[in-house]
Amino acid sequence: MPIDQGERKARILALLDSVPDPEIPVISIRELGILRDVLFDGDAVEVIITPTYSGCPAMYAIEEDVLAALAAAGIDNARVRMVLSPVWTTDWMSVAAREKLRRYGIAPPGPVPRDEQGAQVVKMHFVKARAPVLPACPLCGSPNTELLSEFGSTSCKALYRCVSCREPFDYFKPY
Amino acid sequence: MASAAHVDYLLRLGDNALILGQRLSEWCGHGPVLEEDIALSNIALDLIGQARLLLAHAGSLMPVPQTEDDLAYLRDQFAFRNFTMLELPNSGLEKGQQQRDYAFTIARNFLFSVYAVEQWTALSTSSDVQLAAIAAKSLKEARYHVRHATDWMLRFGDGTDESHHRAQAALVALWPYANEFFSTDATEADTAAQGIGVTGASLRPGWQATVSSVIAQATLKEPPPSHFSSTGKLGRHSEHFGFLLAEMQSLARAHPGAQW
């Protein structure tokens, strides 16, 4: 890539770093791993994003926010393209992003459980002694938490309750 | 230029997601408890998202390209390719039953989502690159669907007399419709040969192993095999399907081309 294009790309990526996730405004789409690349087609700018959950309605808002951010910076000839592969995973979330989540009151995702081949596994059977992965309470830090609902306020989150401080909290599920 | 079998195969995948998504959406606001209302709505949302990706892909490969909306809202019965099991009413199959039946809904999710995990795992290496990408994604979501459904099958089966009885009745009613998952036909044979798809028959052993294990753990009885085979994936649907389409499509058909 010619030097000026490389610089252009870096500037646009930095600009788009200011676009937050619509549901979790403390993290940017870049930190979440949704923003994947910026390509050039002559004068036109093409922003590549990867969707999270298949039905995630926030992706519309993200697309609009990206175009709005570019337009505000004077870049009108832009489009957003959704690319499914490589598939988005919470493993792409940076350590800094996880800490921001926790401070916002959302327990960050644990590592995606994988087998020896690296393929993702999800325990299929109910374990009588509660779900094996218990996130720590993002409010008081206690490990003594319990699952309220596998599906929370959004597809990506589950609902837990802290047994110590009795506050409910969202958990960002490993994906 | 995609073959007719390729497009047909994609429509089957997309329609399964769309029609089950539609049925689960009917629970929104009517769940037995708030957490389950939210769970089923979220599962429906995942499925509808998958349907959008699959139908958009299928539509793009047609001789005259169609959008996901064209396919969801403007096709008639004979053009839909979903498994009949997924279009059955949430109230179950007993005559005169009007009330939504949670055991029936969960048992259906159980039987189908275990199949979906097998299917998406196999399709993650499809020679159709876009399908492989959709499969890798749908697999992650299907695994959470399986976990939700199997949790409830175990609670129902190994629960009270009433929950056990209802779960057993649901399994018995749904079991014959599972045969359709595994019957091979020209579309499947064709696309499997091209490395695009997989035959349902190849997915049966994995499905059977998981299903039998969960049923046993739930202290339920596996229904005996039946020779019945439903034909939804061939476009020949049950008497319930017309009503489902009427509800799903009437608004779009009343206002053609309308935009939000």
CA distance B46 to chain A (A): 5
> What is the reported pLDDT for A1?
56
**Intervals of chain B under pLDDT 70:** none
- Identify the burial level of A105 via C-beta atoms within 10 angstroms of its C-beta, where 0-12 means exposed, 13-18 middle and 19 or more buried: middle
- Closest Cβ opposite residue B49 in set A53, A150, A152: A53
| pLDDT tier for residue A128 given thresholds of 50, 70 and 90 | very low
Give me the amino acid identity at A34: I
- Closest Cβ opposite residue A149 in set B35, B46, B214: B35
Interface of B with A in 7-36 (CB under 8 A): 35
> What is the reported pLDDT for A119?
74
- Closest Cβ opposite residue B46 in set A85, A149, A155: A155
- Closest Cβ opposite residue B46 in set A54, A85, A87: A54
| pLDDT tier for residue A168 given thresholds of 50, 70 and 90 | very high
- Cis peptide before B205, with omega less than 30 degrees from 0? no
CA–CA–CA angle B243, B142, A100 (5° rounding)? 120
Residue B141 touches chain A, beta carbons under 8 Å: yes
Beta bridge partners of A45: A40, A78
CB–CB of B137 and A87 under 8 A?
A: yes
Give me the amino acid identity at B159: G
- Closest Cβ opposite residue B148 in set A53, A150, A159: A150
Model confidence pLDDT, tens digit, residues A70-98: 999 999 999 999 999 899 999 989 889 99
Cα–Cα dist A5/A2, whole Å: 5
Name the residue with higher pLDDT: B236 or A8. Answer: B236
CB–CB of A155 and B150 under 8 A?
A: no
What are the phi and psi torsion angles at A149 (to 5°)?
A: -155, 130
Q: Which two tokens stand for residue A119?
A: 């393929």
> What is the reported pLDDT for B226?
93
pTM equals: 0.93
Cα–Cα dist B222/B130, whole Å: 37
CB–CB of A151 and B43 under 8 A?
A: yes
> What is the reported pLDDT for A125?
53
CA distance B96 to chain A (A): 33
> What is the reported pLDDT for A3?
60
| pLDDT tier for residue A127 given thresholds of 50, 70 and 90 | very low
Interface confidence (ipTM) of the complex:
0.86
Chain A residues close to B141, C-beta within 8 Å: 53-54, 155
> What is the reported pLDDT for B166?
96
Chain B residues close to A121, C-beta within 8 Å: 143
> What is the reported pLDDT for A56?
87
Cα–Cα dist A85/A36, whole Å: 10
Per-chain mean pLDDT for chain A? 88
- Taking CA atoms, what residue in B is nearest to A124? B147
b/e B35-66 (16+ beta carbons within 10 angstroms → b): bbbbbbbbbbbbbbbbbbbbbbbbbebeeeeb
In angstroms, the Cα distances linking B70 to B66, B76, B123, B231 are 6, 11, 25, 23
Three-state DSSP class for A162?
strand
- Hey, how many other C-beta atoms are within 10 angstroms of the C-beta on B4? 13
